[in-house]
Amino acid sequence: MRVLVCVKRVPAPGAKINITADGQAVDTAYLAFTTSPHEECAVEAAVQLVEAHGGESTVLTLGPAAAEEQLRYAASVGVTGCVLLPIDVADWDPQRTAAALTEAIRTIEATDGTFDLVLFGNESADSGNFQIGVRVAHALGRPMVNGVKGIEIDGDSVRARREAEAGVEVYVLPMPAVLGVKEGINLPRYPTMKGRLNAKKVAVRQLTASGEPGGQQMVTLLQAAEQVSETVILGRGADAASAVVDLMEELGLSK
Amino acid sequence: MSVLVVVEHDRGTIAPATLEACVAARALGEPVHALTIGVAADGLVDVLAEHGVSLVVRAHHDLLADYGPEAWGETVAHEVRRSSPSAVVATGTDRGNEVMAQAAARLDLPFVANCTEITPGEPWSIQRVRWGGSLLERCTLTAPVKLVTVAHHTHEASPAPASVTTETISPELDASLARTVVAERVERAAGVTLATAPLVVGGGRGVGSADGFGPLEELAAELGGVVGCSRAVTNNGWRNHTDQVGQTGTRIAPDLYIACGISGAIQHWVGAMASKKILAINTDAEANMVTKADYAVIGDLHQVVPAITAEIRRRRTG
Ligand SMILES: Cc1cc2nc3c(=O)[nH]c(=O)nc-3n(C[C@H](O)[C@H](O)[C@H](O)COP(=O)(O)OP(=O)(O)OC[C@H]3O[C@@H](n4cnc5c(N)ncnc54)[C@H](O)[C@@H]3O)c2cc1C
Ligand SMILES: Nc1ncnc2c1ncn2[C@@H]1O[C@H](COP(=O)(O)O)[C@@H](O)[C@H]1O
């Protein structure tokens, strides 16, 4: 089977997210980059599906040229094809991103064949638009379910499991289909030494990103109001237990 | 022109976030109309009227007996084409965002997810959640019909009784949309969940192993709470992802969150910050979790946690 995964390069912030002076981006001067954990799990799911059913997996990103790093990381854990849609800003709006990804998928499928499954993350880590996968699926005329924590191939269909408030929901989608994957579906593997070496050599195919700007345009990033609290130190080590239980009683938790 | 609220419900049980969406909708214009999807939601008219809705449009169709993102999204799109509201407001939940994304794709309109503040005008000026809540974005929205979802817990539900009328519609839904309607369910056993528990005992990398969670389980059980964890823990395979607190896990809001051996990375913090009180147990007095918490114990969790459980038991029997 043929599986495509869409991932997005994002900064990996630590204790606080700092913004650049012009308010246009996260200050990444001292940061590493990653993808959303949901997308890491989508990559792992693609690799596992191909291991189980044969075929090939491809990873696709729209982003700055440096996003090649996220493509090569996917290759290091077993994805076989890499496609980059370079843009010269950090990000495009959701409609424009979806249009560009759709166009790229059509281009790849025209020569290489249809993807049985296109996988997205549940949401991107930075902008969290909760829509790009849905838009791409609709443009391609394919069924889409988000928040998926279980994938099983059953002939021409895929059974997708997701956790909701009331319990587990199971969807049965005819393939080709599109799924948004949630962290927890699997435990992503770490790259092996051999994987890392392969990833350095893998060819990254570049396609031109195309798409008109959409109706949502970012103006600026803002810090969320910070909760400031003076931390009360209840004590050190096991001796603090009595003060902790006093607190619990005060909060009405331990009676 | 009307503002339309998309009512989130699960086979007739309304999602509380819907009432928050009603509050946001009332601030955007009048009249406020609501769309209920499926016969099971017909009984929601009264509660919607109490929250300011003057017309409830009830969509009936065989494909709407249970949830299906495509069938629901197409129903919203159908109602937008039929009644031309100025805006559509839905819940900033998994389902709310999914349905609005489907509707937006079908209408070829922009859609802004998880808004915290909306200022109408030309264009609309919106503040929305990024990074799961650790950063905000100000953006503009330009569209003939504005589609937005309201970030959960940013608008407090408040009644505003209205006199209500109802209307029933039968949207045209292609039979093929059955492909994403829920096919089977496994109901959850009743009981406290991580999202609703009054006490959460969280463990991080400092717990050291899957077995290391035993004492945390004991403390939680002693107080009717549940155990949560950080991503370092799920990544190590020590606990299931259903226990993970944070941006890509569960948002918790207990009376007390006891964070043991967790450094307090921003992605963990956004999942925990709605806790009423936070107690951090950490060997490092400078850890972010400690400096942000209300209370802290500096020390080795492997000694502190069992000592707390023992003290609770001692007082109960003593
Ligand atoms: C896009 C994105 C999304 C993410 N989503 C999430 C999420 O949903 N949830 C989440 O948790 N993380 C998430 N993360 C990961 C996050 O950035 C951190 O890596 C993670 O939270 C760290 O877990 P930790 O605090 O357990 O481990 P560490 O950062 O390693 O901290 C361990 C802490 O334990 C203390 N300690 C060690 N030994 C002891 C002891 N014996 N007694 C007491 N204290 C001790 C140390 O002092 C330290 O403070 C996400 C990351 C990204 C990039
Ligand atoms: N620039 C991008 N390039 C490739 N895939 C993307 C990009 N942005 C978003 N995606 C995918 O779409 C999913 C949903 O993103 P979003 O709608 O922003 O929440 C992400 O988890 C990714 O899988």
CA distance A220 to A19: 10
Residue A13 has pLDDT above 90, yes or no: no
Segment B170-204, tens digit of pLDDT: 999 999 999 999 999 999 887 888 999 999 999 99
Which among B204, B300, B275, B188 has a CA at the least distance from the CA of B243?
B204
Q: Do B130 and A15 touch (CB under 8 A)?
A: no
CB atoms A166 and B311 under 8 Å:
no
CA of B155 from ligand 2 middle (Å) equals 27
| Ligand 1 binding pocket, CB closer than 6 Å | A 12, 34, 36-37, 125; B 204-206, 230-232, 244-249, 261-263, 265, 267-268, 271, 281-284, 287, 300-302
| pLDDT band (50, 70, 90) for residue A255 | low
Do the chains contact at B131 and A187, CB–CB below 8 Å? no
Yes or no, beta carbons of A254 and B312 under 8 Å apart = yes
A121 ligand 2 Cβ < 6 A:
yes
For the A2-206 domain, the top CATH level (class) is alpha beta
- Say how many Å lie between the CA of residue A7 and the centre of ligand 2: 6
Does pTM surpass 0.90? yes
Distance B245 CA to ligand 1 centre (A): 10
What integer pLDDT is reported at residue B287 of this predicted model?
96
What domains does chain B contain, in order, with CATH numbers?
3-180 (3.40.50.620), 199-317 (3.40.50.1220)
* Type of residue numbered B254: P
Question: For residue B123, is the peptide bond before it cis, meaning its omega torsion is within 30 degrees of 0?
Answer: yes
d(CA B73, CA B143): 18
The pLDDT value recorded for residue B83 is: 97
Indicate whether A58 pLDDT > 90: yes
Determine what percent of chain A is predicted with pLDDT higher than 90.
92
ipTM: 0.96
A128 Cβ below 6 A of ligand 2: yes
Atom 18 of ligand 2, residue of closest alpha carbon? A129
- pLDDT at residue B208 above 90? yes
Helix H or strand E segment including A179: strand A177-181
Supply the Cα-derived Rg of chain B in whole angstroms: 23
Q: Where are the alpha helices (DSSP H) in A58-185?
A: 68-76, 94-112, 132-140
Q: Is the pLDDT of residue A225 over 90?
A: no
The angle formed by the CA atoms of residues B165, B171 and B175, to the nearest 5 degrees, is 150
Atom of ligand 1 nearest to the CA of B284: 47
Q: What is the DSSP letter of B292?
A: H
Buried b (16+ CB within 10 A) or exposed e, B201-222: bbbbbbbbeeebbebbebbbeb
Mean pLDDT of B154-159: 93
Chain A residues closer than 8 Å to B265 by CB: 14-15
Q: In chain B, what residues touch A251 (CB-CB under 8 Å)?
A: 255-256, 277
pLDDT for B274: 93
The predicted model gives B271-298 an average pLDDT of 97
Chain B contacts of A125, Cβ < 8 Å?
131-132, 247-248
- Average pLDDT over all residues of chain A: 96
Number of cross-chain residue pairs from A and B with Cβ atoms under 8 Å apart: 260
Domain boundaries, chain A: 2-206
A102-157 pLDDT, tens digit per residue, is 999 999 999 999 999 999 999 999 999 999 999 999 999 999 999 999 999 999 99
Give the per-residue pLDDT at B190. 79
- Counting Cβ atoms within 10 Å, is residue B144 exposed (0-12), middle (13-18) or buried (19+)? exposed
In tens, the pLDDT along B136-153 reads 999 999 999 999 999 988
- Beta carbons of A245 and B312 less than 8 angstroms apart: yes
- State which of A7, A26, A28, A34 you would mutate to test the pocket of ligand 1, scoring each by most atoms of that ligand within 8 A of its C-beta: A34
**Residue B138 token pair:** 């100000």
Residue B189: per-residue pLDDT: 83
Contact A231 B291 (CB under 8 A): yes
Does residue A93 have its Cβ closer than 6 Å to ligand 2? no
Arithmetic mean of pLDDT, B28-56: 97
The residue with tokens 């109309």 is B33
For B58-116, what is each residue's pLDDT tens digit?
999 999 999 999 999 999 999 999 999 999 999 999 999 999 999 999 999 999 999 99
B125: burial class by Cβ within 10 Å (0-12, 13-18, 19+)? Answer: middle
The whole-number pLDDT of residue A166 equals 86
